[in-house]
Each structure stands twice: as C-alpha cells, then as structure tokens.
C-alpha cells in the first residue's frame, strides 16, 4: 500500500471536524440531567413573596430587636422588601426560572397530606403521593419508596445519588436501612474525612453548641453537601435545611428571618458554584420548596398543624388546626425549566417528585406511576 499525503490530510480534517461537532447519541450527555433538590423547613409563602411581616416584627412575643429587623429587611415597597430577604430568589430565579405559591397573585400550592407537618410533607415531596399512615415525626422507617431510591437503581445514576439534612429523621424518611443511600443528617459526621474541609466540618459538628436535640446548624449541612458536590460529583443531591422551622417553634421571628436570609445566601453560593463547574454548568436543575407552611396570623405563626393532627394528638388547643400551614411554594431554575418568573395556577406538593424526574428528561409516569403528575407548566 502506498502512502498518500493528500488522503491523510483529508482524513485528518474529517476526524477533526467530527470531534468538534456536538454529539447527542447518549442521553446522559444531554443538558439538565443533574438535579439539586432543596427544602427549607417551614418557610412561609408570605415571607417568600412579600418579605418580612411588619405585624410579626412589632409583636413583642416574637421580636426582641424590631428596629434592627426593620432597618435590615423592611422596605415599604413589596418588591424591594422581598428582595432584601431573599436576594437570590428575587434576582436570579425570578429572572431566569419560575416561582409558584403567591396566593395574592393567583398562584397556589398546597400539601395533599392531611397532617401539615414535616415527616408527612417530606414523604409527599419525595414519593409523589400523600400517605395518611405517615402521621408523626417519629423515627419510623418509611415504607414508601422515594424517587431518590428509584434513581439510585437506574443506569447512569447508580451510586450517584446523595442526601444531606439538618434534621436527624431524614435517614428514616429516605429509609437507608432498605436502600443504603448515603444520607448525612442530624449530628452525623462524614467518614472518611477525605479533605481538610470535611475534617473541619466534623470538628465543628462535634463542638458547636446544640440549639436543638435533633437538628444541627444549617451551615454544617451546607458545607457537607458542597464538599460532596466538589469531590464526588453526584448526579442527584437532596439538601434539607432546617433552622427556619426550629427558630419559628422557638417563637423567634428575628432568628427565623435571619435564618431564611442565610439560606438564600447558601443557595446563591450553591448555584454560582454549579454554574462555574464544567460538569454541572448548564446541565443542572435546582428545585427549592418546603415541607409545610405556617399559621397566617400572629397567633398562629409559630405553629403548623391540621385539625386532623390536633384531633389525633387529643389536643384541645387549636382544635381547628392552624389555618395557612397547608400553604406552600416552589422555585426552580435550570435548562429544562422555563424562564417565566411567577406562574399562576394551582399545584400540589405531591407533584414535586414527578417534576424532578421530568426535569431530568425522564418519564415520571413509567418510573413512578403512582406519583401525581409533573408540573408541566413549569418545564420547557
């Protein structure tokens, strides 16, 4: 065979052109096939869409530094006020993604479960349906299968699904006994401590003051999750922040508001890092929601419960439940999410699981046939 320099040059050019062309033969290389799901425990839609509540700031039962809260977060204009509290939500997501749940603007989202508190809400978010039998916050192994567990058994996602939560009940909600998913929650540390940052987080986790018996500070949860993203590259990660609900139960509107603002800062850091990382950039959807609402009056604000849950507890206090604590919200951004800002309509918490799957370009009907349908109005 004789060597032909012209043929060699032609073949080389063709190969180079082929290498430079985009290739879509593998679905796993399509955009939006990574997912970050975030929950903010017990954050009301009222603060998300209207900013701080002046009645609660000025209520001496809940606020010990009203002038500082007003100076920091209060603005007469609602748009400015909510952006002071949630600058990331009302800059980046409002302009590039979607928000739902502003009941004053005909945008509604509610829980489907009859209880209106945390474990039933998280079960509904992760499994796509309400289970009336999930009726307490006790450490009971969840008999229902979450979409996290399902994805972890699928090709392309195997061993690339993780969860991090501030509340120590999440291993039970996700049921790590059944599926062995890596879930770091509560006072758990990360082992092995493979990086200097993880070693520091483990030390802080062990030595930081414990404000609550079952919930750690959110910056520790956030730190562990960020280290996992940087070092393990999960395809799907669930991060559950918890401080807001516990400060509200402590009847401290000051700390509830500050915690909500800090969480927004964490979300900004998370999203900016995802967009700067070659693996996640323009290939990742971020969905943010909450497990339940709170009371819609000053008297009811620290609480959340349905009439059914109060009856089950045989409580004469608030026998009618806490109106407003079934009202929730959702925000999302990413390549498979529309850029619409606030979207009007009506949705249920049970639709989150299918929406998460659909945002990954998967068919939720085939994967989770019992789950409520995806929020198709939010997706491209």
User: Which of 328, 326, 373 is CA-nearest to residue 352?
Assistant: 373
| pLDDT at 3 (0 to 100) | 39
What is the distance between the alpha carbons of residues 302 and 13, in angstroms, rounded to a whole number?
68
Q: How confident is the model at residue 24 (pLDDT cuts 50, 70, 90)?
A: very low
Per-chain mean pLDDT for the chain:
92
Question: For the residues 41-50, what does the mean pLDDT come to?
Answer: 98
Q: How confident is the model at residue 110 (pLDDT cuts 50, 70, 90)?
A: very high
| pLDDT at 46 (0 to 100) | 98
pTM of the entire structure?
0.92
Contact between 158 and 148 under an 8 Å Cβ cutoff? The reply is: no
What is the distance between the alpha carbons of residues 97 and 271, in angstroms, rounded to a whole number?
12
Take residue 48 and report the two structure tokens written for it: 């998300």
Beta bridge pairs of residue 164:
184, 239
Residue 349 φ/ψ, nearest 5 degrees? -60, -35
What is the distance between the alpha carbons of residues 115 and 42, in angstroms, rounded to a whole number?
14
Q: How confident is the model at residue 314 (pLDDT cuts 50, 70, 90)?
A: confident
HSE of 360, CA atoms in CB hemisphere, 13 A: 24
DSSP 327: B
Residue 18 clears pLDDT 70, i.e. is over it: no
Positive/negative CA dihedral, 138, 144, 147, 152: positive
Structural domain spans, the chain: 32-378
Question: For the residues 153-158, what does the mean pLDDT come to?
Answer: 94
| Position with higher pLDDT, 20 vs 205 | 205
Residue 268 clears pLDDT 50, i.e. is over it: yes
> How do residues 239-250 score in pLDDT, each as one tens digit?
999 999 999 999
Domain 32-378, CATH homologous superfamily name and number:
Alkaline Phosphatase, subunit A (3.40.720.10)
Ramachandran quadrant class, 170 (left: phi over 0; alpha: psi -120 to 50; beta: rest): alpha
> How do residues 208-230 score in pLDDT, each as one tens digit?
999 999 999 999 999 999 999 99
Residue 74 φ/ψ, nearest 5 degrees? -85, 130
């Amino acid at each position: 065979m004789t060597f032909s320099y012209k043929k060699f040059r032609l073949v080389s050019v063709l190969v180079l052109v082929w290498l430079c062309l985009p290739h879509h033969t593998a679905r796993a290389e399509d955009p939006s096939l990574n997912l970050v799901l975030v929950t903010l425990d017990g954050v009301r839609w009222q603060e998300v869409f209207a900013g701080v509540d002046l009645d609660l700031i000025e209520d001496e039962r809940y606020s010990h530094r009203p002038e500082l809260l007003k100076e920091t977060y209060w603005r007469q204009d609602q748009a400015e006020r909510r952006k002071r509290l949630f600058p990331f939500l009302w800059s980046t997501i409002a302009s590039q993604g979607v928000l739902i749940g502003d009941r004053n603007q005909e945008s509604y989202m509610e829980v489907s479960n009859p209880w209106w508190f945390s474990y039933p809400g998280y079960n509904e978010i992760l499994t796509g349906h309400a289970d009336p039998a999930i009726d307490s916050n006790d450490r009971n192994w969840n008999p229902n299968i979450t979409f996290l567990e399902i994805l972890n058994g699928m090709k392309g996602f195997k061993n690339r699904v993780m969860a991090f939560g501030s509340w120590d009940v999440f291993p039970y909600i996700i049921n790590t006994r059944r599926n062995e998913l890596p879930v770091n929650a509560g006072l758990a540390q990360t082992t092995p401590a493979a990086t200097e940052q993880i070693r520091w987080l483990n030390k802080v986790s062990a030595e930081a003051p414990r404000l609550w018996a079952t919930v750690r500070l959110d910056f520790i949860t956030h730190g562990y999750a960020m280290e996992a993203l940087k070092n393990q590259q999960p395809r799907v990660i669930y991060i559950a922040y918890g401080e807001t609900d516990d400060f509200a139960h402590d009847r401290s509107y000051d700390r509830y508001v500050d915690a909500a603002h800090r969480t927004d800062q964490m979300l900004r850091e998370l999203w900016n890092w995802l967009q700067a990382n070659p693996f996640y950039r323009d290939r990742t959807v971020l969905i943010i929601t909450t497990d339940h609402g709170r009371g819609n009056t000053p008297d009811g604000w620290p609480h959340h419960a349905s009439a059914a849950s109060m009856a089950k507890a045989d409580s004469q206090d608030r026998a009618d439940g806490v109106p407003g604590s079934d009202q929730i919200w959702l925000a999302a951004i990413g390549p498979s999410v529309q850029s619409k800002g606030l979207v009007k309509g009506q949705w249920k918490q049970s639709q989150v699981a299918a929406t998460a799957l659909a945002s990954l370009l998967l068919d939720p009907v085939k994967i989770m046939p019992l789950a409520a349908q995806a929020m198709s109005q939010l997706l491209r």
